[in-house]
Structures are given as C-alpha cells and as structure tokens.
Amino acid sequence: MEIIKLAWRNIWRNKRRTIITASSLMFAVIFGIVMRSMQLGTYDRMIDSAVRQYSGFIQVQEKSYWKDKTIDDLMPDSMVLRQRIAKLDGVIDVLPRLESFALISSGNKTKGAFFQGIDPVLDDQMTQISHKVVQGRFLEKDDDGVLLSQRLAGFVNINVGDTIVLLSQGYHGVTAADVFPVRGIVKIPNPKLDKSLIIGSLKKVQEFYGAEGMLTSMVVNIKSKNNIDMVLPEVTKIIDSGSLVALSWTDMNKELKQQIESDNGSGMIMLGILYVVIFFGILGTIIMMTAERRKEFGVMVALGMHRYYLALIVFIETILLGLVGAVTGGLISAVIVAYYYNSPIHIGGEMKEIYEQFGIEPVLAFSKDFGIFINQFYVVLALLFVAVLYSMVKISGFKIVDALHS
C-alpha cells in the first residue's frame, strides 16, 4: 500500500505533465467510446429496422421460396410445428406470414407494393408496430382492413377511412383482386419498406391470394440476435428438411451484413490510427519523464534501493496516470452516450437521401453496451504496459555514475 501512495505522490510532483498526459488519454477514451458506441448503436438500429421490423432473425420457408419468392412456393401452416419451435430455449414465439407483390390503385394513382399478411397480436409482440401507427388504428384479429406505410399512403394520396383496390396473381395462377378499407397509416423505420408496404390480417391476405391455410414463412421470434447460433440448429432439427429450410437474417440480408462488416472494418482502422497516435504521445511523455528523473533514479539506487523496486514504482505511476485519464474519460463518455442513446442524431440533407437509397433509416443511434467501455479500458492499459517498458529497460541498464552527473 505504501508503494502505491509513493507512486501517487510522484505523479503529482509535476502537475502540468500529469494533466497533459491524463488529458490525452481522457480524450482518446472519450473519442473511442463515443465513436464505437455510435457505430454499434447504428448497426443495431439498421438491423432492427431491416430485420426485426420485417423478416425476423430466423425464418422457416419452403426450400425453393427464397430463390424466386413466388406465391406458388408456399408451405402449409402447421400449428404443431409452430408450437414445437416455440418451446425451444431462446424462442419467444413463431409468427405466421404470407406476403407477395400486389398493385395498389386509388383514383388515377397506381403503384407496385408489398402485401404482407400477419397475425396482428403475435406480430406486434416482436415488431411493436402498433406503436408506429401515426393515423387511425392498428389491425384487429381477422380484420378486413389494411395498414398502409406512410410514404406509400402519401404517394397514392390515401387517408384513413379511404378504400384501395389491390390486384395481383394468386396461388397457382388464380386472379387476386379485392377492395380494402384503410384502417391506419404506419411509419416504417426502413425507408425502402415505408414506400411499398401494405399490412393486412393473415386470414384476409390468405383469402385474397386464394391460399387458405398456406404461408410464405414462419418467423421465429427470438429473445436476442445473439441467440441465433444456438436456436438455428435446433429449428433445423425440428423441421422437415426434405421440403423446408431454416434461414438466418444473414442468409436473407447478405447486402446488409456485408455493409455492416465493411463499415465496421473501416471504423476499427480509424480507432487503430487514433490509438497509435495516442501511444506515441504516451511514449513521448514517458521518455521525457524518464530523462528528467534520471539523476533522481541514480541517487535512489546509490542509496540502496533495488532497481526492480524502482522499476515497480515507475510502473505503478504509469498505471495510475493512465487510470486517471481512462476513468475520467469513461465517466464523461457515459454521460454523452446516455444523452444520445435517448436522443439519437437524425441525418438530413444529401446524407439522408444516400441512407434512404440503401433502405437504411437516416439516424445515428448509440449503444449502451457496457462491453464498449471495458474494451477501451483494456486498450488503454495495453498501451500503457507497452510504453512503460521503455522506463523499465532504462532503469535496469543505466550507470549510477553517469546518472548522478546528468
């Protein structure tokens, strides 16, 4: 304990040097945590808007459906299969879905749209889509009306209470045509879906396509995306592998996965460059500190202090100095991250248009994952351990006479 007190007093003998070094570490930690939090938070937001809000993390489909996505490649709705999958660890529930292309017409406006049939109660538990209804109301069980995505409703100039006409090709080539009252307008986080999505109750959509008792997929609602590797093999064991297949969100959204991996790689490079700069700043401070205290070290060794004990004191000084900067940076970062977690940054202008072209919600969100903070502390400590080796080598090798005359 005494050695820690001695090291703590030593680092404050030169307050200016200590403050400069600690500040450089503090700003490095702040920048690293905030940048990484923004990256991971934005990835989670992208995955949530593109995956959880639509496809889910795991889907069970007829084997040939995903390749062509035609209404003829359907699977039977098996309540027994849904219940077996729902009993697996990490699974919340299994959602039946039927979805296909349709033309929406209102007045003289016509547009291609995506017609999705859901179980309103089960689906809302996963997507919480009822909270995104901006006009009208959410669907009821077996409702004969539909929800329109906000941008699609704006394009065809439709309001709540109006009626739309949908035309499509049904199951096994039958003609699908019907009129639907609009129950509500819903704002979908994914800009691409918000321009084309129509949502109806499963029973009504099955009647529209002439596909009673049939589904395009079963969406496996899981507790966390981290459970995919555990749940997916178990789902595969349960299903009839001869006609059905279980797909993860990375199988169904390869472009999004590649985009996240690419952006994550560039972010790691930026962090690497930042910490290389910080490392040389720390190393420069330690070199300067060692040179300034060379005579002091010589006197202490001449008076009988063992070199290893002196090296230990310098090592503890460096660690304490690093902890001052890292802890201060971590506390400030926590305040910044907490604020932007509750108030994400909304992107405007040309960047907004670029995000929307890729079907990504134009928002910079932040993550409160505690692992981000821990990782930054590990990096700072690793840099300090490497940098302090210079002092250790110098202390073990300097000549007492030369040090006393320096």
Q: Are residues 220 and 79 in the same domain?
A: yes
Q: Are residues 282 and 396 in the same domain?
A: yes
Residue 362 lies in a domain: yes
Q: Are residues 282 and 173 in the same domain?
A: no
- What is the C-alpha separation between 120 and 141, in angstroms, rounded? 6
| Domain count of the fold of the chain | 2
Residue 349 DSSP class:
H
300: domain range?
2-50+256-404
- Low-confidence residues of the chain: pLDDT under 70: 53, 241, 354-360, 397-406
Position 93 scores a pLDDT of 87
Q: Are residues 268 and 232 in the same domain?
A: no
Q: Are residues 261 and 293 in the same domain?
A: yes
Q: Single out the residue in 188, 218, 241 at which a domain terminates.
A: 241
Total-model pTM: 0.72
**Contact present, 373 and 333 (Cβ < 8 Å):** yes
Q: Are residues 125 and 207 in the same domain?
A: yes
**Contact present, 62 and 97 (Cβ < 8 Å):** no
Residue 230 lies in a domain: yes
Position 406 scores a pLDDT of 57
Residue 113 lies in a domain: yes
Q: Are residues 44 and 89 in the same domain?
A: no
Position 214 scores a pLDDT of 93
CB-count burial class (<10 Å; 0-12, 13-18, 19+) for 13: exposed
CB-count burial class (<10 Å; 0-12, 13-18, 19+) for 213: exposed
Residue 30 lies in a domain: yes
Q: Which of 34, 30, 31, 28 is nearest to 282 (CA)?
A: 28
| Interval 166-209: pLDDT, tens | 999 988 888 899 999 999 999 887 778 888 899 999 999 999 99
Position 319 scores a pLDDT of 82
Position 254 scores a pLDDT of 77
Q: Are residues 200 and 264 in the same domain?
A: no
Position 249 scores a pLDDT of 84
Residue 247 lies in a domain: no
Position 400 scores a pLDDT of 67
| Interval 64-117: pLDDT, tens | 888 888 888 899 998 899 999 989 988 888 899 999 999 998 878 888 999 999
Position 290 scores a pLDDT of 75
